[in-house]
Amino acid sequence: MTAARTTAYLDHAATTPMLPQAARVLTEELARTGNPSSLHASGRAARRVVEEARERLAASLGARPSEVLWTSGGTEADNLAIKGLFWARRTQDASRRRILVSAVEHHAVLDPAFWMAEHAGAELVLLPVDHEGVVDLDALRAELEANAEHAALLSVMWANNEVGTLQPLAEVVALARRYGVPVHADAVQAVGQVPVDFAASGLDALTVTGHKVGGPGGAGALLARRGLELTPVLHGGGQERGVRSGTLDAALLASFAVAVEEAVTTRASAAPRLAALRDELVAGVRAIDPTAVLRGPADPARRLPANAHLTFPGCEGDSLLYLLDSAGVEASTGSACQAGVPRPSHVLLAMGVDEDDARGALRFSLGRTSTSDDVAALLTALPAVLERARAAGLSGSSRATSSSAAPRAAGTHDEQVA
């Protein structure tokens, strides 16, 4: 009989194991029947569950219940923020066409922004970042000074999903507010790792989702300050203040709210533990491979406590990923694959990382279930994995086509930026 494989899960930034209490609430509510928009007793009971979840989520994130707009997750919330804000502002003033986003945003922000540039008459401005992935405040200031009257919105993520960089949102918001430009932040990675308070942040809109904090997939929210005008992206029954139509799933939302509450409540004790594990992981990797480079801020206080993103010279990230996986260690790469053409991470390239170095990226992300045993499993497997990956890279180098000669992926955005 084959022994069960032991897996070290180091990909919590992709998704997290569900919290027991979130799973329990989900299971209990799934057994109930009722559409929250129905007026009979079952419908009213479902509506009560939805509104209690709204209150719970709002209290956890420093928002008013009326500011919580339920969505199917982070991607929908980001799309609603980018498209809804642009169309609303454009309706008020046709000259407001510029969408400002940092160059290291998640694709859930970048892709709708590029789509608006290609299909809705928007002018997209990608704000540069420094070598640690921090948005260039001088570039933002210059853009606002020159074109504030044409700016529809600004989106800068709270924390980067790849390299863990915490953005200077207080300064970003202060600059934008000076010029009357609404600001959205994707806080999907930040909740539960760093303090997130919507009211205190001064943001106009903020994205959160359930499956990054021990909740279910398929549940998220856009926090939108009172009075913020958003043009609906989905049309139908007029739910969620008429901004986001669609039947609400009471079970998912109740589970989501419980998970956020738990993540926020336990953050003060969980974050230092995760930071210590991260430091243990980084030190161990560097001892094994002194050429490995930690990407993102060198100062631990300026990055997510659960994130360790490293590049390994002479290696392909995909090879490292698969070799680690075969050894029972699950992580992720910093690269994506578009139209069948492997590409290095847009985040690393925006940070000025050489394309060859960027291809050798791995992201290790920790969470509630992570232990020193997981780190030990990685460090045990890594030497042989690096040896095999570099050997494979050397044997394939003579056959490889240079990246500059590789075909451009369909739908790339290089020519769409203002």
Catalytic residues: 337
Q: How many Cα atoms are found within 13 Å in the side-chain-facing hemisphere of 317?
A: 25
Q: Alpha-carbon distance 9 to 384, whole Å?
A: 19
Q: Do residues 102 and 156 touch, judged by C-beta distance below 8 A?
A: yes
Start-to-end Cα distance in the chain:
61
Neighbours of 27 (CB within 10 A): 11
Q: Whole-angstrom Cα distance, residue 223 to residue 70?
A: 9
In a 3-state reduction of DSSP, which class is residue 69? strand
Helices (H), 202-358: 250-265, 267-288, 317-326, 346-350, 355-358
Output b/e per residue, 112-123; b: 16+ Cβ within 10 A: bbbbbbeeeebb
Largest CA distance in the chain: 71
Please list, in sequence order, all residues whose beta carbon lies within 8 angstroms of the beta carbon of residue 379, skipping any fewer than 6 positions away.
Answer: 281, 284, 285, 288
| CA triple 175-180-186, angle to 5 deg | 65
What number of other Cβ atoms are within 10 A of residue 333's Cβ?
22
6, 239 Cβ separation under 8 angstroms? no
Q: Are 148 and 181 in contact (CB under 8 A)?
A: yes
Rounded Cα gap, residues 101 and 157, in angstroms:
9
- State both tokens at 278: 């991260």
Residue 168 CB partners (closer than 8 Å, separation 6+): 134, 135, 137
